[in-house]
Chain A
Amino acid sequence: MNKLAYFDTSHEMPLEIIMAAGFIPYKIMGDVHKSTDPADKYLSSFFCPAARSWLTEALAHSKEWAGIIFAQGCNNTNRHYDIWKLHVETPFLHWFGAPLLDSAAAKKYYRVELQRLISHLENQFDVKITAEKIREAIGKSNAIKKKLKSLSSLRSQKDIPNRDYLTAIIKCLTCPVEEVSTWLDSEITLWNSRPAFPSDKKQFLLTGSDITYVEWMDTLDDCGIRVVRDDLSVGERFFATLIPDRNDPLEALIEYYTGIPKPATRPTIQKRLDYLYQALQETKADGVLSQNLKFCEPYAYDSVPVNNALKARGYRVLHLERDFSPAADQQFANRLMAFVEMMDGGNNG
C-alpha cells in the first residue's frame, strides 16, 4: 500500500478519507537532522523552521508518495501551498480548505470540501470511496485513538520516558494502521510493566508549538521534566476525542474535526483553555511548560493570554522559545532545571 502524504500544521486532515481511498496517511514532519538549505532557497529564514524542514523533506521524497494533500493550517504556511505547487514533484496535490470556524456555515462548507477531496481522489486514483469504506476507516481510527489514550494515561503513573510517548504518536501519524494497532497492544503491556513514576521527576503539562523530534523530549527528561499531559497536535489532540457514530460517515467526520480541542490556529482561545483546564483537573501536574518554536506565530499570540490565564489559576508556567534543532541547548537546560528546582518549594493547582 502506498503512502499519501499530508501537510498539516495541526490535526485538520481527515485521515479517514485517505484511508478509505486505500492509502496510508503519512504526516510530513521533516527531519530535524537535515539542513533546510533546499527549502531555504524559496522560504526566508523568518518562516518557521518546521515548515522549512517539511518542504525539504518533500523536495527529497515526494516521488515516494502517491500525492500530497495540504490542509489549511496556520498563517505562516497557508501560502506555502503555491510554492510547493511550483517546486515539489508530485502527481497529485490537493488543497483541503479546513474551515477555521465550527459554526453551521463552517460545517456546511466542511462537507463541500470533503466531497471535493473525495472526487479528486476518486478521479486521480480510479477508486471508489464508499460510505462503507469511510465507516471502516473511522472504526480503525477510533481503535488507534482508544489505544493511544490508554497508553498516554500511563505517563503519570509509570516510568515512561518522554521520548517513548512522542515515538508512539509519530508512529501513529506515519505508519500503516494495522501495523500500529498491533504495536500499540504490545506497548500497552510493556508500559504497564514499567516501574512506578520516578520520585525525582516532576509532572508537567506541555502546551504550545508541536514537537516532532525526540531529542527535545530527552532534554526535558534530563531536566527532570516528565510530560504527563499535553494539548499538542502531535499529541493529545490526535486522540482526545473519538469520531462519533453517525449514519452518515461524512457527518461523523465533520462533527469530529470541527469539535476536537482547538489548536492556536483555530478560534477561540477560550476553547483551547477549556481543554487545558480539563487536562489539569484530570491529572495533577506540578507545572506547565509553554513552548514556542521560533517564528511560530499562532502559539506566540496565544501564549500571552493562555499563560496569564493559567497563572491566574495558580499554575506554575514556564514559557520558552525553542529552536528547531536536535542539539541540547545548555542555556535552556539551565533555565528548565532552575524552574524545576524552584518547584520543590511546594505544589500548585
Chain B
Amino acid sequence: MDKAKNSGADAGKVVLKTLPHSKDLKWPMLWWIGMEKIYRTLPWKKTAWTCAAFPIELMWIYDIFPDHPENMATVAAARKQSQRLIEHAEGMGFSRDLCSYCKTNIGSYDTKIKKTLGGISKPDIVVCTNAICDTHWKWFQIMADKMNAPFFMFDIPKWVSGTDEKTLEGNIDYVVDQFYDLMAFVEKHTGKKMSEKRLNKVLGRSMELSDLWREIFEHRKSVPSPYSGAETSAAFFPLVVLPGVKVGINFFKKILADIKTLTTKGEGTMPEGREKYRVMWEGIPFWYRMRFMYDLAQQGVVIAFEPYTYSFAPVKKKCLTMEETLRDVAKLIMDTPYAYNLERRIENFEKWIDEYKLDGVILHENMSCRPSSAGMVDLAEAIMRDKGIPVLILQCDMNDPRAYSEGQIKTRVEGFIELMEANK
C-alpha cells in the first residue's frame, strides 16, 4: 500500500485511526504467496488465472491455486510500477484507450517483474467470465494465446434494466450448463475431478467469509464511521482470492471485533469530532494514489461506504443439492453490485445513502472501465433529485497515473465539499 497514506501525521493534520488488527492482513497475504510457491513446486498441484466475478471457490474446490492478474495489477500500481508497465504494453501496440489493468498485466508479464512489484507467472489454465466486462475475456484470451495456456470463459448473460424473473431463469440455465463445460475443461487440462464433499466445504467457508464482511459493513453504518474506504480497499483482499479457505475468515473476525470495540465506545476512524461528511465512493480506487482518501480526511470527509468492496461479498445460500448450489452460484455471478444495471444501481444507491447516512457521493468515471462508467450521469441525476445530496463525478483511471490531474481533482473535490457543507 501507499507509504504516504497517513501523510496527515504532520502537526494539525488529521490522522486516521487504523484498526489494531489491520496489520494482520499480512497473514492472509503471506499465506497466499506461500501457497502459490507450493502449488508451483508440486507437479500434481495446478494454478489458474482468474478474474473478478469468477467464482474463485470453484478453483479451490479443484485444489487449483487462483492467481489474479487484477490483484497483481493493483500491487504494481501501489508499488508505483503501473505507469511503466502500461507504457510498455502501449509500446507493444495496445491502445491508450484500453483498460489499464490489462495493460499493467501485459507489461508485467512481458517484463517479468518480481511478484512483490506486481509480477505474475504463467498458469496451467486461464479461466474468466464476462460478468462485469468483456475486457476480462478479451484480455485473458490474448494472454492465454501468448502463454499457450488452455482458456475457458463463462458467457454470462446481461441482467439489463427491466429483466423479468422468467428471463432471469433462462439466463441462469445457460450459466449452469456452462458449469458442466467448466468441469469437463478442468478435468481435461488438469486431470482434477469435482468432489461434492469439497464443494460443500469450500462454499461453507466462502459463505462465512462473505457474511463476516457484510457484518463489518453493518457496523459501518454507525456514526462516526469506524472503518473507512481507505482501509477496506486493502482489507477486502481475502474476498478476492481466498473465498473458500480458512485464512481470511480469522482476519475478518479480528477486524469485526476491533470495529465492535470502536462502535461500542462511540469512536470512529477519524479523531473525535472531525467526521463532518460521510461519503460513498463508487468505482475502483486510484491504486497509485491511495493518499487521495487520506487527503479527503483532512477536510473531514470519510468514505463510509463503497459498492466496489461490498460487491465481493454477496449473500450466499446453503443449498441441499448440487444443482441448487450451481443455480445459486450462477445467480450470484450475475448479481454483483459492480455490474448492476442502471435501475438496480439507482435503487440500491439510494437505499445505501439512507442506511449509511451519507452526505454525498463520489462517482469514479473510470476511463479504463466503460461498463461501470456507463449511466453515471443518470445515476448522479437520480441521486441528486431523489436524495438531495451532492454527487461528484471524477473522471480518472484506477491504474494509470497519467490520468490523475492533481490540481483539477483538488478543485473539484473542494467544490464538492462546499456543496455538502451548504447542504447541511
Contacts and interface: CB of A to CB of B under 8 A. Distances in A.
A301 B341 contact: no
Interface of B is mostly: helix
Given A46-B367, A105-B177, A303 B134 contact: no
Contacts of B367: 46
A112 B342 contact: no
B134 A82 contact: no
Interface stretch (B135-143, B307-315, B405-413): B135-143
Residues of B in contact with A, size category? 35 or more
A260 B167 CA distance: 26
Nearest to B180: A105
Interface residues of A, number: 54
Interface string A69-101: 010101110111111011000000001010111
Contacts of A301: 94, 98, 102, 135, 138-139, 142
B93 A303 contact: yes
B171 interface: yes
B160 A82 contact: yes
A305 B145 contact: yes
B97 interface: yes
B341 A79 contact: yes
Contacts of B376: 44
Contacts of B134: 74-75, 78, 100, 265, 297-298
A319 B94 CA distance: 12
Contacts, number: 152
A302 B137 CA distance: 12
A295 B369 CA distance: 12
A32 interface: no
B157 A109 contact: yes
A80 B99 CA distance: 19
Nearest to B95: A300
Given A292-B95, A297-B97, A42 B378 contact: yes
Given A105-B178, A105-B181, A99 B375 contact: no
Contacts of B155: 99-101, 106
A78 B97 contact: no
22 contacts: A42-B377, A76-B370, A79-B342, A82-B342, A82-B343, A85-B162, A86-B378, A95-B158, A99-B157, A106-B155, A108-B177, A109-B170, A109-B174, A116-B167, A264-B138, A268-B141, A269-B142, A269-B145, A298-B134, A301-B94, A301-B139, A304-B92
Interface of A: 41-44, 46-47, 70, 72, 74-76, 78-83, 85-86, 95, 97, 99-101, 103-106, 108-109, 112-113, 116, 264-265, 267-270, 292, 294-295, 297-298, 300-305, 307-308, 319, 321
Please give me the 6 A-B residue pairs with the lowest Cβ-Cβ distance, nearest first.
Answer: A82-B342, A75-B134, A105-B177, A79-B374, A109-B174, A300-B95
